[in-house]
């Protein structure tokens, strides 16, 4: 068995490791990382968080992020909960993650 160590010193880099599974665009990755890094509420994609993310990424209208929220949900990066949106379990940061690849 081979072991590969990947240093992920930012949320964006951490998400990029899993992007072969989720197939997010670069813009979707940046937006998702910004939501996670700036979230101050239980609802990852709250109106308050959209305003903050849109300012940081120079997006003029925070409502533009609704299109990205839908895409992130459709691709499995976030999920709808009773409290709004939360990060998919596969993307929750952990200090140590093992990815096993089995040849069939």
Mean pLDDT of the chain: 89
What span, in angstroms and rounded, lies between the C-alpha atoms of 17 and 27?
Answer: 15
Q: What is the pTM of this model?
A: 0.85
Q: What is the pLDDT of residue 93?
A: 76
**CA 44 and chain centroid, separation:** 10
Q: What is the pLDDT of residue 85?
A: 94
Structure tokens at 30: 């940046």
How would CATH label the architecture of 11-91?
Orthogonal Bundle (1.10)
More confident residue, 87 or 97: 87
pLDDT category of residue 42 using cuts at 50, 70 and 90: confident
Domain boundaries, the chain: 11-91
pLDDT category of residue 91 using cuts at 50, 70 and 90: confident
């Amino acid at each position: 068995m081979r072991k590969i160590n990947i240093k992920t010193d930012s949320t964006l880099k951490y998400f990029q490791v899993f992007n072969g599974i989720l197939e997010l665009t670069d813009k979707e990755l940046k937006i998702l990382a910004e939501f996670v890094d700036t979230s101050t509420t239980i609802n990852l994609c709250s109106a308050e968080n959209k305003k903050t993310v849109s300012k940081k990424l120079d997006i003029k209208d925070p409502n533009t992020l609704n299109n990205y929220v839908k895409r992130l949900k459709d691709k499995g990066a976030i999920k709808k909960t009773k409290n709004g949106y939360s990060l998919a379990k596969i993307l929750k940061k952990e200090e140590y993650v093992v990815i096993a690849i089995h040849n069939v």
